[in-house]
Amino acid sequence: MPSNSCSALVQRDFAAIPDAPTALFSAQIIPSKAQTPEYCEVKGYVTPQIQFEMRLPTQNWNRRYLQVGCGGYCGSLRASPECIAALNQNFAVAFDNTGHVGGGIGAGSALWGLDQPQLRTDFGYRSEHVTALAAKAIATAFYGKSPSYSYFQGCSNGGRQALMAAQRYPNDFNGIIAGAPAAIQAPLNEEYETWNGRANQDSQGNPILLPDKLALIHNAAIANCDGQDGLLDGQITDPRVCTFKAESLRCSGDRATANCLTTAQIAVVNKLYGKCWILTKRYPQDTIRKTIPHLLIPC
């Protein structure tokens, strides 16, 4: 593959891609490093502002394309370990910012969507579809032939994107991996996450259960529940048979140590593990199970 074919991509007109008018910011060769082969790094956007990045191996392309979703509210471009691993196996890969800049965690994490229906649509389902259209066209222009197989992989919000791709655009990908999908976002963001925050606050708004206790709780739950399915493998396959109780970690007397929980901390653990009972007051239990599949105790 001639190295100048990479930089020449910015001279190509991708504005006529049906449903995905595209423009490129840059295209440059990135030298090989360690396990990562030399690749053509392409940056651009699909109208109105779905920014994306592609990495196209310059040699030994396996004619496969992998697109990786973005977690949380996204809003940035970051190569995930899945992208890097696939590139190392000579996949062409791409990822995008779901159509907006800024996300993260906090009060302003979704401010980009205030009174912006197009940005909400792009985040909701459009970004992954048009990124796939643009990426395949760019790969075809670079290699002179289109991908033989295309795949999508995502976790959390990326898992939700995977489900949306399968449901709305089943012809975009030959295979889809939807990991821990944030499938039904209204109860997930509005009530599940809000409940997590409030359940762990005292009357002054201070956190009760701190991160240094999480390993203690996790290890105790695994010790109690692992093996209930007949296999000791470090994971809880069926939470419904788990009998773990946070009270088993109660501190003796009023003295708190690193290896026990106070009464207030136990109350928080029980609230968090029992959050489904709060949600079922508003949403059907089947909806809660699909939205929050990681509960230690069943709804």
pLDDT in tens, 29-80: 999 999 999 999 999 999 999 999 999 999 999 999 999 999 989 999 999 9
3-state secondary structure of 133: helix
Domain extent, residue 274, equals 186-291
Verify that 204 and 154 share a domain, yes or no: no
Examine residue 297 and state whether it is found in any structural domain, yes or no: no
**84 C-beta neighbours (distance < 10 Å), count:** 14
> What mean pLDDT do residues 176-197 have?
85
Q: Which of 147, 182, 217 is the last residue of a domain?
A: 182
Q: Which of 136, 165, 182 is the last residue of a domain?
A: 182
Verify that 171 and 191 share a domain, yes or no: no
Verify that 158 and 262 share a domain, yes or no: no
Q: What are phi and psi of 52, to 5 degrees?
A: -145, 165
Verify that 132 and 215 share a domain, yes or no: no
Distance CA 194, CA 172 (A): 35
Q: Which of 150, 182, 214 is the last residue of a domain?
A: 182
Phi-psi region of 295 (alpha: psi -120 to 50; beta: other; left: phi over 0): beta
Work out how many domains the chain is built from and give that number.
2
Verify that 286 and 205 share a domain, yes or no: yes
Verify that 194 and 167 share a domain, yes or no: no
Would you tell me the crossing angle of helices 127-143 and 157-168 to the nearest 10 degrees? 80
Verify that 281 and 157 share a domain, yes or no: no
Examine residue 131 and state whether it is found in any structural domain, yes or no: yes
- Which pLDDT band, with edges at 50, 70 and 90, does 191 fall under? confident
Name the one residue in this structure whose structure tokens are 């053509």: 40
Verify that 164 and 252 share a domain, yes or no: no
Examine residue 255 and state whether it is found in any structural domain, yes or no: yes
Verify that 144 and 127 share a domain, yes or no: yes
Examine residue 298 and state whether it is found in any structural domain, yes or no: no
Examine residue 16 and state whether it is found in any structural domain, yes or no: yes
Examine residue 30 and state whether it is found in any structural domain, yes or no: yes
pLDDT on residue 168: 97
Examine residue 8 and state whether it is found in any structural domain, yes or no: yes
What is the chain's percent helix, strand, coil content, to nearest 5? 40, 20, 45
Q: Is the pLDDT of residue 177 over 80?
A: yes
pLDDT on residue 236: 86
Verify that 177 and 196 share a domain, yes or no: no
The pTM assigned to this predicted structure is 0.78
Examine residue 25 and state whether it is found in any structural domain, yes or no: yes
